[in-house]
């Protein structure tokens, strides 16, 4: 009996300390300059940057959406939605019974994603203007968090990951697509612009309570990683 009580207390302390660790992240900004370009950015100036032929994640957008195996009725967040081309495709894939939360820190991007959704009569897209430390998504509101070319823009990665984790339902997924950073392979721009390589990103995301599941080998310049939300007792 004494032993059982001791085990129970130990498990409780463990659970509480993990919850405490997830809830109280006092993180330093890892890259204060990285989003300078997006301060006051206008949609019109960026649509041709994000939606241009030759940009791998734009060229391969239909293959990426197919690889995600979206089902009607799913709730998805496109975190760092940019000009919203993925959000629009997701909205068609999840249909009227699903929802797409297009989350971005840039007001004009959200304004125009909402406009595009109205023009295409997609009522299941919801623009969310967030900030660097929070997705502003409701807890347990999504089945999948999709983060394309945006992880390296998180100024507070652990804080954002904790916020994403809260929003993902038990058993839900996190997909990260981002630039491969490899010396002597990646461009000079990638080497200086992108903070971390794939292994570091996997480590950071596992630290935040997700488990690495698999990698889709669809893209060349970018990796495409799948994580599942770990349970709450997992560090």
List the interface residues with ligand SAM, window 66-95 (CB under 6 A).
79-82
Stretch of 20-28, 118-126, 148-156, 197-205 lying at the interface with ligand SAM (CB under 6 A): 148-156
Residue 38 within binding range of ligand SAM, rule CB under 6 A: yes
**CB 103 to ligand SAM: min, Å:** 5
CA atoms of 183 and 164, how far apart (whole Å): 30
Provide the token pair at 115.
């406009």
CA atoms of 55 and 63, how far apart (whole Å): 14
Residue 196 within binding range of ligand SAM, rule CB under 6 A: no
Q: What DSSP assignment string belongs to 74-117? A: -EEEEET-TT-HHHHHHHHHH-TTSEEEEEES-HHHHHHHHHHH
Residue 165 within binding range of ligand SAM, rule CB under 6 A: no
Residue 101 within binding range of ligand SAM, rule CB under 6 A: no
* Chosen residue from 50, 90, 179, 224 binding ligand SAM by CB under 6 A: 50
Residue 124 within binding range of ligand SAM, rule CB under 6 A: no
Stretch of 88-96, 116-124, 145-153, 218-226 lying at the interface with ligand SAM (CB under 6 A): 145-153
CA atoms of 204 and 89, how far apart (whole Å): 29
Report which of 53, 56, 49, 94 is spatially closest to residue 75, judged by C-alpha positions. Answer: 94
What is the number of the residue whose Cβ is closest to ligand SAM?
82
CA distances from 28 to 22, 31, 66, 133 (A): 15, 9, 37, 11
Question: Strand, coil or helix: what is 144?
Answer: strand
* Chosen residue from 104, 143, 178, 204 binding ligand SAM by CB under 6 A: 104
Give the residue with the Cβ less far from ligand SAM, 85 or 232.
85
Positions touching ligand SAM (CB under 6 A) are 35, 38, 50, 57, 79-82, 103-106, 109, 130, 132, 148-150, 153-154, 160
């Amino acid at each position: 009996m004494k032993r059982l009580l001791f085990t129970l207390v130990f498990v409780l302390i463990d659970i509480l300390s993990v919850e405490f660790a997830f809830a109280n992240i006092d993180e330093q900004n890892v890259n204060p300059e990285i989003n300078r370009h997006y301060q006051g950015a206008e949609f019109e100036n960026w649509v041709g940057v994000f939606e241009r032929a030759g940009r791998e994640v734009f060229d391969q957008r239909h293959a990426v959406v197919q690889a995600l195996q979206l089902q009607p009725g799913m709730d998805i967040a496109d975190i760092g939605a940019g000009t919203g081309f993925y959000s629009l495709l997701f909205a068609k894939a999840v249909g009227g019974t699903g929802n797409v939360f297009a989350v971005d820190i840039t007001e004009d991007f959200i304004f125009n994603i909402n406009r595009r959704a109205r023009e295409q009569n997609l009522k299941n897209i919801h623009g969310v203007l967030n900030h660097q430390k929070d997705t502003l998504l409701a807890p347990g509101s999504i089945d999948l968090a999709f983060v394309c070319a945006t992880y390296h823009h998180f100024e507070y990665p652990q804080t954002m990951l904790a916020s994403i984790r809260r929003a993902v339902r038990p058993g839900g997924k996190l997909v990260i697509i981002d630039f491969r950073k490899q010396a002597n392979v990646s461009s000079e721009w990638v080497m200086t612009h992108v903070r971390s390589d794939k292994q570091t990103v996997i480590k950071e995301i596992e630290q935040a309570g997700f488990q690495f599941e698999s990698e889709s080998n669809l893209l060349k310049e970018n990796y495409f990683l799948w994580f599942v939300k770990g349970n709450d007792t997992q560090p």
